Amino acid sequence: MDMQSVMTLLLTVGKILLIVVPLILTVAYYTYAERKVIGYMQARMGPNRVGPWGLLQPFADVFKLLFKEIVLPSSANKFLFYLAPVLSLAPAFAAWAVVPFDDWLVLADIDASLLYVLALTSMGVYGVIVAGWASNSKYAFIGALRSAAQIVSYEIAMGFALVGVIIVAGSLNLREIVLAQQGGIFDWFWLPLLPLFLVYFISGVAETNRAPFDVAEGESEIVAGFHVEYAGAAFAVFFLAEYANMILISALTALMFAGGWLSPFENVPLLENTFIAQPHLLWFLGKMFFFMFFFLWFRATFPRYRYDQIMRLGWKVFIPITIVWLIAAAVFVLLGWVEQGV
């Protein structure tokens, strides 16, 4: 190996770390925020003992989980049992490779980045299925089957919603999708694609198995579903994957429907030349956190759907909506009501 390829390799690893380390920290503090936010919504305090305002709680949790024993259930498939958490974590992280944080801040600016994201987020379900199968537990098995059916159905609605974005943006590249939304808050895609935006975000919640769609781990029915037999670090990896996926969905929603790093005050008179009208990474992060908050809000508010009701919602409501609105979006573009492309 010559010097140059070593340098390239090191540089790439460095870039990956630059994404993964903040991501893991975000996951850690997302769990903290979840407990605090839901706590305040439920008239209680949330964690407040470890460190000032409980800020060190995520680390306490991580260390607790790391030091716990990983119990292998009897007659479980050892190889698959340990493989499953990795299968669910890897796609959750790998998808971040194509997420543009800013106009230039992206690890891999590939042309079909949206397809790549779709492909990887669908991979996550294998971790769940394998975990449910390998655990040799009835609860886990039911959880895995539920999860497989659910993710497959919502993938379709999600995919259709994204086709709408592609039609309007005229590109499969996430960076170009964002750039196609220039012109202020009413030029972002959430407005022309409002039904698709809602379907996408709700499907995203379903896709990540979060309340009110958390039947795959539905605590009161099948205890913890697919990861019921996992403890310690193996459980922590599942947990990490779930939260990384939630953040990913929020980031993608921000990119595709809410203008990514673009400022909502573009082209607003008086503000035009000020700092807040400029595109910035902070806008992207702010939008991402805004959508992340919804995940927590849903969890504190809604009862859980039943399994068949989730399927009905996916197949009979979301998919028809997306199909109708796809045609509508195409007509908009054709008539020139929505400007296509960059």
Partner 1 sequence: MAEIRNYTMNFGPQHPAAHGVLRLILELDGETVVRADPHVGLLHRATEKLAESKPFNQSIGYMDRLDYVSMMCNEHAYVRAIENLLGVEVPERAQYIRTLFDEITRLLNHLMWIGANALDLGAMTVFLYAFREREQLMDCYEAVSGARMHATYYRPGGVYRDLPEVMPQIAESRWRKGKDLKRSNEWREGSLLDFIDQFAADFDSKVDDYETLLTDNRIWKQRTVGIGAVSPERALQMGFTGPMLRGSGVEWDLRKHQPYAKYADVDFDIVVGLNGDCYDRYLVRVEEMRQSNRIIKQCVNWLRANQGPVMPKNFKIVPPSREEMKSDMEATIHHFKLFTEGFCVPEGETYAAVEAPKGEFGCYLISDGANKPFRVHLRAPGFAHLSAMNEMINGHMLGDVPAIIGTQDIVFGEVDR
Q: Which residues bind partner 1 (CB under 8 A)?
A: 38, 41-44, 138-139, 142, 211-212, 214-215, 218-223, 299-309
List of residues 6+ apart from 201 with CB closer than 8 A:
249, 253, 257, 291, 294
Distance CA 190, CA 73 (A): 47
Tell me the residue type at 186: F
What would the two tokens of residue 160 be?
């259709």
Q: Is the dihedral of CA 103, 201, 328, 151 positive or negative?
A: positive
CB of residue 309 to partner 1, shortest distance in Å: 5
Closest CA to 180 of 234, 272, 256, 254: 256
Helix axes 232-257, 57-67, angle to 10 degrees: 140
Between residues 142 and 247, which has the closer beta carbon with respect to partner 1? 142
What would the two tokens of residue 15 be?
């870039």
The DSSP 8-state label assigned to residue 271 in this structure reads T
Give me the count of residues in the chain.
342
Between residues 38 and 70, which has the closer beta carbon with respect to partner 1? 38
Closest CA to 199 of 318, 326, 329: 318
Distance CA 255, CA 249 (A): 10
Between residues 261 and 307, which has the closer beta carbon with respect to partner 1? 307
CB of residue 193 to partner 1, shortest distance in Å: 24
CB of residue 133 to partner 1, shortest distance in Å: 15
CB of residue 216 to partner 1, shortest distance in Å: 12
Distance CA 277, CA 263 (A): 5
Q: Which residue has the tokens 């990887």?
A: 120
CB of residue 301 to partner 1, shortest distance in Å: 7
Tell me the residue type at 89: L
Between residues 128 and 172, which has the closer beta carbon with respect to partner 1? 128
Between residues 261 and 305, which has the closer beta carbon with respect to partner 1? 305
CB of residue 300 to partner 1, shortest distance in Å: 5
Between residues 89 and 199, which has the closer beta carbon with respect to partner 1? 199
Between residues 180 and 222, which has the closer beta carbon with respect to partner 1? 222
CB of residue 42 to partner 1, shortest distance in Å: 4
